[in-house]
A and B are shown apart, each in its own frame.
Chain A
């Protein structure tokens, strides 16, 4: 398939892996930001190709994983209300809240629908004027433009039965938080290609300077990832803390300017809780004052939510790259995709789910 097969070419990939091993004079620790990259690394066994030269640690870039438990519980509470159509990306339905998940809400009579785009949820609102339609607007810079578009269109058309339960996260503040942590072991980053497609990578240059780390935006296929790792290793070996784009077919330095404008029209930067990690200042987006009437959390004043995380779950450590999923004592025992203790075991982008799916019993492989 065009635009895919050439980036999965085994010969090119293996040549890149050899080049990485040749280039590295010591063992480097590199974090891939995005959960999609984590899954591709595990699925294609890229970590197995790197030998002892590079330790890949897995970043916080899984939107499902970092959505705060409070928001999940709010979602479950709103979705259970009569007269509400609750729309969500499919990934969010299995995420455990304090007491249940959206599948359970649906089985108890909640009108919970899977959508592929927030604009579909907006269409539900047009088609069902007597109902309240709520969209669970989670994600990073990648989903923000479409979520902003839905709110913007609703405002323009005067649709008053549509709201979003918003939990948008931003990557650069999370990178700064990881690098500032005393436990940090990350020496270089693979930046998330699709996030950079929206935002560009100008903002990353300051991070590279401030923390003296190389940052390489790259994609999701084996050749993309290996080329990104090779670039990062080269920069590390040369002691150059720079940003080098290895995803040129998708990413430009300024990103998608129209998408960024729309996002900043509708949203403003705000502090945000990250599930398992805690509060990171200015790491999220919330609706601007003129769009607050589309805020589901305000419209459906959900109070008395008492969240409770499983004491066994160490997903916060996993999300910061300080713990490999299979080093968690609950991994594959108390915590499996069917009975997840934390969101990292649920999402198709969660690191624990990737390890469980592709590499559990790794001694047998």
Chain B
């Protein structure tokens, strides 16, 4: 995160007031003291109700996501970097080059302004790393108790490449399935950051933008069949969605899935499968077998892809199902998690 000079002395309050969302002087103060210093650019600086953009000709991708994470600060990121990276990645996995984002904030009355500054600075940092601009935004304040501190919505526009065709319906028997790094870091970082856990684990979220790595993979291998980012539901959910959409089977090599020792340990204690745990800086890439090693090499040349691995393949057998071979040579289904991940009793 960048170091920032706290602009708070300019402000009369230490916490968010209802007036900060009322459109008057306090709203302007919030813009000038918090948002503009970090997020400002030629579009946002116009302070119009809309950003006027000119896009190169071609097709655009458009996506939106809302971030309600608790806690808002966690090892490896904040709700701010998450809100930027999540939307950037949703564009990138569709084969789009992310360009512009909007940011909508719902703030709870009483939320510390110093925390808001930290979150906005982290958003700016993430946007800079991803090479995108936040060009329009909105802030609403709700009464204390009406939301959990801060919610952020981001929408994003990206320019679609015309040399690729990515779809979760594209899987073909023989395709290789690549994962860009370790599974489960984000979800376990959040679970262990929540106060209730009586053990401490040194697990950082993998929260990161993947557009640069993905762009390089597609430059080298435009034949990629599908890409998904395994966020909620984890790698298992993405593989099940791909298998189901393509009516193809997936054979997972469970032991090829990279998992950090700390994440594995925490999962063992809680009785949770790392394949079901959320990631925020990983991508699953499905590629025809002849191109698998090239795609893997490109991923590994990036910091965010250094632990990339081939984790499975597509098969004509058991269509719609993900099956793994255990280390003992037996086979079992890899299922979707049923709702919220619940720690076991004993």
Contact = CB atoms under 8 A, between A and B. Distances in A.
Contacts of A116: 196-198, 343
Interface of B: 196-198, 261, 264-265, 268, 271, 317-318, 321, 323, 326-333, 335, 338-340, 342-346
B335 A14 contact: no
A325 interface: no
A89 B343 contact: yes
A141 to B, nearest CB: 10
A189 interface: no
The 3 closest A-B pairs by CB, nearest first: A45-B330, A90-B342, A337-B338
A46 interface: yes
Contact of B332 (A94, A117, A142, A358): A358
Contacts of B198: 116-117
A64 interface: yes
Contacts of B321: 361, 364
A36 B342 contact: no
Contact of A348 (B264, B271, B330): B271
Contacts of B332: 42-45, 358-359, 365
B346 A143 contact: yes
9 contacts: A36-B346, A43-B332, A44-B327, A45-B326, A89-B344, A90-B344, A116-B197, A138-B345, A348-B344
Interface residues of A, number: 49
A10 B345 contact: no
A93 interface: yes
Interface in A12-44: 13-14, 17, 36, 42-44
- Interface SS, B side: loop
A91 B327 contact: no
B264 A1 contact: yes
A114 B343 contact: yes
B265 A1 contact: yes
Contacts of B331: 45, 48, 365
B333 A63 contact: no
Contact of A44 (B264, B326, B338, B340): B326
Interface string A327-349: 00000000001100000000111
A203 interface: no
Nearest to B261: A1
B344 A91 contact: yes
A147 to B, nearest CB: 11
Contacts of B344: 36, 89-91, 347-349
A8 interface: yes
A89 B270 CA distance: 11
A91 B342 contact: yes
Contacts of A43: 326, 332
Contacts of B342: 90-91, 93-94, 114, 348
A194 B346 contact: yes
Contacts of A143: 345-346
Nearest to B342: A90
A139 B344 CA distance: 11
A46 B329 CA distance: 10
A363 to B, nearest CB: 10
Nearest to A93: B342
Contacts of A131: none
Contacts of A356: 335
A4 interface: yes
B261 A63 contact: no
Contacts of B338: 94, 337-338
Nearest to A17: B328
B334 to A, nearest CB: 9
Contact of A63 (B264, B268, B326, B345): B345
B339 A338 contact: yes
A139 B333 contact: no
B268 A4 contact: yes
A115 interface: yes
Nearest to A13: B328
B90 to A, nearest CB: 26
A222 interface: yes
A134 B197 CA distance: 20
Given A36-B346, A365-B323, 12 more contacts: A8-B327, A46-B328, A49-B330, A89-B343, A92-B345, A116-B196, A116-B197, A143-B345, A349-B344, A359-B332, A361-B333, A364-B321
Contacts of A92: 345
Nearest to B333: A358
Contacts of A63: 345-346
A271 interface: no
A268 interface: no
A360 B330 CA distance: 14
